[in-house]
Every structure is written in structure tokens, then in C-alpha cells.
Structure 1
Amino acid sequence: MIDTPLDEIPKINASLHATFATRKTFPLAWRQHQLLQIARMLQENHKAFADAIYADLGKPAFEVYMTELNLMIDRAIISAKRLPEWAAVKNLENHPDLPAHQKAWKPRVAPTPKGAALVISPWNYPLILSIQGTIGAIAAGCTLCLKLSEVTFNYAGLLQDLIPKYLDQDAVKVVCGSVPEITKVLEQKWDHIFYTGNGTVARIIAAAAAKHLTPLTLELGGKSPVIIDPEFDMELAARRVLWGKINNCGQVCVSPDYALVTPSSTAAFAENLKKACASFYPNGSLKSDSYTRMINMQHFNRIKSLLERTQGKVLMGGGMDEKERRIEPTVVLVKPGDVLLESETFGPILTLLEVEDMRAACEYISAQFVLCLPFRQSDLDPSRSDHPLVLYLFTQNEQLQQDVRKLTMSGNLIFNDTFMQMDVKVLPFGGVGESGYGRQVLENTFNCFTYERTTLEIPVDVEDKIHLRYPPYTAHAFEVECAPTLNVQIPESSPEGGLVA
């Protein structure tokens, strides 16, 4: 990786705006070609990508292909094929709410590229979190500045080398570097910013964007909880929860952060977590080729410090190899207020917290608005005030599913597994509140980088139908234009039944 010279960054910004002004990126054929070039780049260099990510993260090649590379090849191809449908002008002449006399006005909505876009990608899933935004921006017809994380040095260097060989250099630019480079990037005016990362950095980015009134897509993660119904199969729940936790050593925004269990099920759940871990890593995780390491010593020491400061009881794991930056999958049983409940752990620690029942689990997750809910408010931790990116619930009880849906908020709500929502490409993905805003994956990513440009074509021969709008205003004009709505029959309704037929 080579840091981008600071004096080049304003030039990059200016060149991307200039390219957009030529409308070079508007033709669908150009966009489709660029999208397929992304697929070719990934396919033709797949081993180089897997090797680079392994060098940065120690991530097994299987995980790279399963959770990043193959997904992006697939989604680049789908985006190229579906683009004409996504970008089609929508004719609203037959909309049920359009008055008959306005049908001739040709109301249209055209998805229109916003301009020069900025994608800021993190280090934990470097390929998917840089390429997914790139696919959306190119599909939309934007020009793009891609700011790569300096933490994944090898991946950034590879992409820095390959993108100019595969994509239009007038329309797509790569910026590499750390704080000075991203600071300079954020000083520039962009037409959309797409950021994946944490809330602390997101506030800095949002403040910079506000100076130019730049719209944002923010995917921010947070503490994603798991609720375990004591009636659920504990062996299956443990296996699926642990699999979600060990992916990328827990360094993923949708990792199950903590599990809410009843006292009667804690022991069984913990024992089955141990059983699952032993089956995943028969010779131990610290030496396994199927387990990732912490990205750097800063994050290794952060997790080490959490385990040193927790007042909880370690039920599984806790072993470390500092030289290799490896930490075993670790399960800790804590009480409310423990350090492990303060913020997203972003590592291989699964925290267990006992709650009296499933209603208490909902109370805990929904602490910030529980005052308006009609049940007890005991043992609430006031620091738990963020809506999670994803909430996992293990239950086959449909009533409990409905209760959790009603009494909690989260970007995603997943029943009976973890992490697998990331593989379902037809679902919009994103958070709510502190866990982010905006949606992505395929058409949803396309929508991030476009806006709905509306058009009307008012016929010149309707003047006799609209002439009453002109002053001077008369009683006759009021009776024709305004009075009818004042006299319209409003449907009957009730709080219990809604609209009454």
C-alpha cells in the first residue's frame, strides 16, 4: 500500500466531479461493463485476494471465499443484469391516487445518480465492505473515490494496484492512508458518503458531511444481542451462536455480542457451547487453520484488557497466544453493569447475562424506551440505550417471536440462527438509530447513490382547466378549487378497528 499524497486528494475530488459533469457514467452499457469488470477482477485474482486478507487478518481462505469474495462476484454480475430494471424511469400515469385530469401531465420518476461519491471502508471484512459500496455507486452512475483502511495494508495495496487495471480511471479513484488522508478527503465536497464502521468515527464523518449538506449511508454495528428461549434445543442454539461468534474472530458488526439466558438454562447452554467449540477445533483454536486472529496488537490488548477487568465468571476459553494475536472463543457469565456490557466487544467474547424470563430480556434490550411499556422495569442497565444492528432470537414459539418483534427495535430480527442474514441478498441490510441508517445489498445499494428525480409535462392546452389559480381570487374560484375537499366525506374509524367499512 502506498499512501496517497495529500496534495493529490483535492485533485482527485475535482477530477471525479469533472468526469461526472461529462455524463460519461450515465449510459447503462458503461455501468454494466464496469460492474462486470469488478467480477472479472475478483475472479481472475481470487487467490491474490485470499492471500492478502490472510496476511492482514489470518482469515482462513474458506471464510474469505464464503463470506466475501464469492458474494461480491455474484452481486456484481446480478447488478449488471438487473441494472436496466433498477434504472428504468417509472411511469405514474396509472397510479391509483392520481386524479384523472393529471394523467396527461406525464408524471415520471427517474432514478438519477447523485454525483461524485465517497466510499469509506473498514478493515474487518475488507473486500465485501469496499466492493459492495463500489458496486452500488457504479451501478447508480456515480463517479467514486474509494478510501481503503490502512489497517488491512496488504489488501489495500492489492486493490490499489488492480482497480486502475480493470476500472475506468477517470471515474474510479483509490485513496490510501490513515488519519491525515481521511481528514483531507473529508474536507472535500462529495455528493454522497457511504461509511461502514463505528459510531465514534461516524460522528466525525457526519460532522464533516454536514458542512456540505452531504447525504450519508452509515452502517455502524453495536452490541447485537441473542435471546435464548429455555424451551429451545440448547445444543442447536449453542452451535449456531458459537458459529456466528467465531467468524472472523468476532470482528464483525453482526456478531452475537451477548446472550440473554434464564437461570434454568445457563448451565445447559454453556455446556453445549463447550461441546460445539470442541467439535469446531478438536486440537484447540489457538493453533487451528480454521480460526482467525485479532487484526493487530491494539485490538488484541483491548480484548485482553476486557477479560482482565471483567467481574464475570469465565465458563469457556480465555486462553491467548500473544505472539500470534490469537484469543480463544471465550464465554463469560456476568451480572448487570459489567465492563463486557458497556460497548461492542468486537472480538471472540460471548457474554452471558441471566434474566428472569423472556419479557425481562425484552426489557433489557429496550431500556431506552421501556418507560412507555406496561411491565416491570427492574434490573435495567441505563447504559444500554442503543438499538442493535441485529437481534437474534432462538425460539419456535410464535407468540414469543411476535412479542420480541413488538417490544424491541433493531435493524434486523433473525430467528434461530446467527450471521446467515448476510447471505440473503434479497433483504435490505442496515441499522436503526445508533446502529446506522440507510440500506444496502444490490438494488438497495443502488438506491443509496441515486435520488428520485421527478418530471411533469403540463400540456399547453389545459389553460382553460387551470385558469382559476390566477389572481384576483374570487368566491367562484374558491367554490370550484377549495370547497370540494372541505366537504369530502371522511371515513369512519376507531382506535380498535381502524377504518370502519
Structure 2
Amino acid sequence: MSHYTPLEEIAAIHTALNQGFRSGKLKSIAYRKQQLLSLAYLIKDNAERFQEAFAADLGRPVLEGAFLEIDGSITEIKTALNSVDKWAKTERPPFSLTWTPMRPAIRKEPKGVCLNIVPFNYPLWLVVSPLAGAIAAGCAMVVKPSELTPAMGALLAELFAKYMDPDLYRVVNGAIPETTKLLDLPWGHILYTGSGRVGKIVAGAAAKTLSPVSLELGGKSPVFVDPKCDLTVGARRLLWGKFVNAGQTCVAPDYVLVPRDFQDTFVAALTEAYNAFYPSGPGASTSLTHIVSSAHTARIKRLIDETKGKTVLGGEADVERKYVAPTVVRDVGPQDSLMSEEIFGPVLPIVPVDSLDEAIAFVNAREHPLVLYVMSQDSAFKSKVFDNTQSGAAIANEYIIHCGVDGLPFGGIGPSGNGYHTGKFSFDMFTHLRAVLDSPGWIDRILGARYPPYDDKKLKAVAALANTKLPPRNAFKFQGEKKR
């Protein structure tokens, strides 16, 4: 591809960015702010061009491009711009009579030149959210866009060259060979967002250079439905969360667990919301993003074709047009094709269960999801689900927008990923906490017992300093938590 970065240039880019990082210009908070502001104007000045890239790569409606990526990206940058002075400030540990005279401190230092491997589904926001944190932390960065979004990759490369310091921030475009070349190099930190299969490859490559790595991997995120929920609002929000961006969202609800005797009522509510979303049918709608590629479309079509469940809404797929109609399938069993992998498309399977306990056991028998959703107004219902499951996030009565909530971390657990970003969590990801100490000479009046020759008197003095006295053995009694 003409816009791919030549393989022979990748090592040179890595070297140049290391030289730029070592120049020390990012030690200046003012320069970090300058780069953050340049990044913000990179987006603001070219919002229409980003919308054109979204349309070219994903067939995405303008509203989705603005709401899901452009507006949120600028907000992320503004948060970093307004907070970097506080985030980067050296911290002091709690007062200690023994250690405070040594002036212990925690310096916030950049990890160096970092790498962000970006997926196709949010090709701007997943560039900007980590990059804003990396800039605030004082890091340089290489951004590797997905080869599945070539218009966005070419646009980012062009605009980075115009707006960002090329000694510190570069775009490398390409596919597997270019990514492999990048992963052969050592990095201050690697962030990879994508599938678990590729995540294992990235983690394995990072291990060879001892580069720290964070993985955002997704998975099958369930929805628990309480029959006493606000069904009208809940159905509308659920379908939006599932179908926005054609379901190509790592935190999209993947399947629904609904009481068996409530399934008919639930499907009726989904049908009403569906018809309101697409009054002339989804095929005539201008409010749908298309699937990123023919191969992905064929994969989703195969899952629909092979399901043993009953398709009640949608079901149409056109591989050539990269189109899959928003689809709802009821009576889906645990071994169904739609439960075999993360769908990553606009298909919602409904899995009937006989009890909430069965639903919880169903989720716990599978890999921890990136997010777990509950549709309920009942505090006890929500608590039972949240207290007895594990997931990257636990969200009630809303879908996917928690990723944009200021102050909340975005990240997984176990197979759904590790590490956190957005806001200060992005800053923390690319920051090294460097312990410092400066001990005055007179401290030896207190710690002189550490020096040989050792004797019993010095042993007692060292023990007194350690203050290792414990509470009584039976100070804390645990009688077991009552089962909810």
C-alpha cells in the first residue's frame, strides 16, 4: 500500500524518537501543554476531514463520529491540559518519624518512547486517549493505526507531520510486517487494543525486549435483565449500545441473560424500540455504520446462519456491501454459534435462564468480560450480580458511554485485558514512579545500629525501629458472609 511506512524506516523512526526524548524538551510542562494543545487543534481544525475518513473506512454517520470520537477526544485532551501540573507534581509519602528526615519522595517520570497499536473500531479516540496521557507524562510515542482504516491512517500521518513535534510523535502505517518490525524494538510501554489472539502475540513479543505492555482485549460482555426493570428505557438503551458503530465496540453488550418466562415481554419491548429506530427498516436507514471489511461481514453472517436460535429482528447480511442488519436472536443456547466468540457486530443473542443464580453461574463459567451490564432498578439485584462476578467494569442501566466518564478507568481483567487508560489513568500508564531519598549524616544517630560489629544491644535497637508488634491473634473475627 502506498501510504504504508517503509519497513527500513521503522528502526530509524524509533532511533529518532529516542533522540528526541533524550533531548529533554518534554521535561518542560509548558512544552507538554503546547503539544497537547496542538493535538486538540489537530482534531478541531480537521473535524470535517475526520468525518470523511470515518465515512470512507466505516460508512459511519456523522452523529456517531462526533459523539463517539471527535467530541470525546477533545475532552480527553482538555482534561490532560488542565491537570498535567497536578498530575506531574512530585508526591511525598505519609509522615514517619524515622523516614521523613531523609526527605522521601515519589517523582513522576516518563517511561520513554512508547507504542500504541490502535484497532479499527475507534480509530481516533483510541489514538488520542492514550496519547494525551503519554504527552502529559512526558513520553514520546509511535502510533500504529489499523490497516483496516486506511483513510484514517493516511490522515493521521499527514496531520501529525503538520501539528505534532516529529522528533517525539510519529505515525507508522502498515499491516502485519510493519507491526512485527515495531514489536522487535524495545519500548518504554506498549498499549495494544484488539483481540485476545493478537494480544498473546503482542505480549510474547514484548517479553523478548522486556517492554511493559498493557492489553485492552474485549470479550463477551453480558447483560443481566431484571423483570422489574424500566423496560421501555432499558430496551432503547440496550439496542443503541449494541447497534451503535455496527456493534464494533469492545464494550458493546454481547448477549443478554433474561428469565425464561420474561423473554416474550422482553422481545416485544426490543421490537418496539427497533421499529422506532428504523421506521422504514434498517436497509433504508442512514443511521447505520457498516462492517469494516468483507471478511468481518462474512464471519458475522456465518454466526447468524449457524445459530439454532430464532431470529426475531433483522438477520440480513450482504458481504459485498459490508452490511449486517441490526439483528436480535432469541432462545440462544450456551453452545450456539453466537456464543462461540465475541460477535463484534450488530447481533444480539438472548439467552433464557431459569434464575439469577443460573445467570451468574453462566457468566462465571466463562472468561471475565471487559464489562458486565445490569438492567435493574433493584439495589439488591444489582449488588448480587456485582458482588458475585468479575469484570473490567460493572454498569447498571447504561451502555458503553462509561468509557467517556471523567475519572473512571477503562480496562479489563484477566483475558479481557490489563492496565487502565482515559484521563489520569492514561497518564499513570505511561509514568514511572521513581522513589527518591536523601539521607542526612545525623541519621546515623538513629540508624547506627545497622553497622557491624553486631551485638544484642544493636539487635534490640533495630527491632525497636521496625515496630513489628502485631495485634492479638484473635483481633479480627470472620463468621462468613450471609448469602444474599
Bigger mean CA offset, 304-313 vs 245-254: 304-313
CA distance in 2, matches of 1:486, 1:25: 42
Q: Is the 8 A contact 1:286 1:321 kept in 2?
A: no
Q: Is the 8 A contact 2:376 2:382 kept in 1?
A: yes
Partner of 1:10: 11
Shift of the 222–487 alpha-carbon distance from structure 1 to 2, 3 Å rule, reads closer
CA distance in 2, matches of 1:101, 1:482: 13
* 1:48 equivalenced with 2:49 (yes/no): yes
Partner of 2:24: 23
Partner of 1:356: 354
State the AA in 2 paired with 1:276: A
Q: Is the 8 A contact 1:198 1:220 kept in 2?
A: yes
CA distance in 2, matches of 1:13, 1:152: 23
1:483, distance to aligned residue in structure 2 (A)? 5.7
Partner of 1:108: 105
Deviations 1:262-298 (A, max 9, x none): 1111011111111111101111112211111111100
* 1:341 equivalenced with 2:344 (yes/no): no
Shift of the 208–489 alpha-carbon distance from structure 1 to 2, 3 Å rule, reads closer
CA distance in 1, matches of 2:288, 2:81: 34
State the AA in 2 paired with 1:206: A
* 1:327 equivalenced with 2:328 (yes/no): no
Q: Is the 8 A contact 2:372 2:394 kept in 1?
A: yes
Partner of 1:459: 440
Partner of 2:296: 299
Q: 1:313 aligned to 306, 310, 332, which one?
A: 310
* 1:289 equivalenced with 2:286 (yes/no): yes
Q: 1:220 aligned to 170, 194, 217, which one?
A: 217
Q: Is the 8 A contact 1:230 1:264 kept in 2?
A: no
CA distance in 2, matches of 1:252, 1:331: 17
- Following superposition of structure 1 onto structure 2, how do residues 83-232 of structure 1 map, counting pairs within 5 Å? 83-92=84-93, 95=94, 98-232=95-229
CA distance in 1, matches of 2:55, 2:470: 67
State the AA in 1 paired with 2:426: T
CA distance in 1, matches of 2:196, 2:61: 28
State the AA in 2 paired with 1:17: N
CA distance in 1, matches of 2:150, 2:401: 28
* 1:401 equivalenced with 2:371 (yes/no): no
Q: Is the 8 A contact 2:315 2:324 kept in 1?
A: yes
Q: 1:410 aligned to 383, 391, 411, which one?
A: 391
Bigger mean CA offset, 228-237 vs 38-47: 228-237
1:423, distance to aligned residue in structure 2 (A)? 2.7
Unaligned runs of 5+ in 2: none
1:322, distance to aligned residue in structure 2 (A)? 3.8
State the AA in 2 paired with 1:40: Y
Q: 2:476 aligned to 485, 493, 498, which one?
A: 493
State the AA in 1 paired with 2:356: M
State the AA in 1 paired with 2:342: E
Shift of the 445–486 alpha-carbon distance from structure 1 to 2, 3 Å rule, reads closer
CA distance in 2, matches of 1:277, 1:162: 39
1:323, distance to aligned residue in structure 2 (A)? 3.9
CA distance in 1, matches of 2:127, 2:470: 54
TM-score, normalization: structure 1? 0.93
CA distance in 2, matches of 1:99, 1:129: 42
CA distance in 1, matches of 2:470, 2:23: 52
Deviations 1:366-407 (A, max 9, x none): 11xxxxxxxxxxxxxxxx2x1000000011111111111111
Partner of 1:387: 368
Bigger mean CA offset, 461-470 vs 115-124: 461-470
* 1:72 equivalenced with 2:69 (yes/no): no
Deviations 1:335-382 (A, max 9, x none): 121111111000011011011111111111111xxxxxxxxxxxxxxx
CA distance in 2, matches of 1:238, 1:497: 38
State the AA in 2 paired with 1:402: S
1:107, distance to aligned residue in structure 2 (A)? 1.0
State the AA in 2 paired with 1:449: F
State the AA in 1 paired with 2:241: G
CA distance in 1, matches of 2:264, 2:346: 20
State the AA in 2 paired with 1:361: A
State the AA in 2 paired with 1:467: G
Aligned length: 477
CA distance in 2, matches of 1:130, 1:222: 21
Q: Secondary structure at the match of 1:25?
A: helix
Deviations 1:41-80 (A, max 9, x none): 1000000001111111001010010010011112112211
Q: Is the 8 A contact 1:234 1:268 kept in 2?
A: no
Partner of 1:376: none
CA distance in 2, matches of 1:256, 1:455: 45
CA distance in 1, matches of 2:408, 2:225: 24
Q: Secondary structure at the match of 1:151?
A: coil
Partner of 1:61: 62
Q: Secondary structure at the match of 1:209?
A: helix
Partner of 2:404: 423
Q: Secondary structure at the match of 2:286?
A: coil
1:484, distance to aligned residue in structure 2 (A)? 7.0
Q: Secondary structure at the match of 2:245?
A: helix
* 1:479 equivalenced with 2:457 (yes/no): no
CA distance in 2, matches of 1:166, 1:485: 54
1:259, distance to aligned residue in structure 2 (A)? 0.1
CA distance in 2, matches of 1:489, 1:290: 64
Alignment root-mean-square deviation, CA: 1.5
Q: Secondary structure at the match of 2:261?
A: coil
CA distance in 2, matches of 1:452, 1:430: 20
TM-score, normalization: structure 2? 0.96
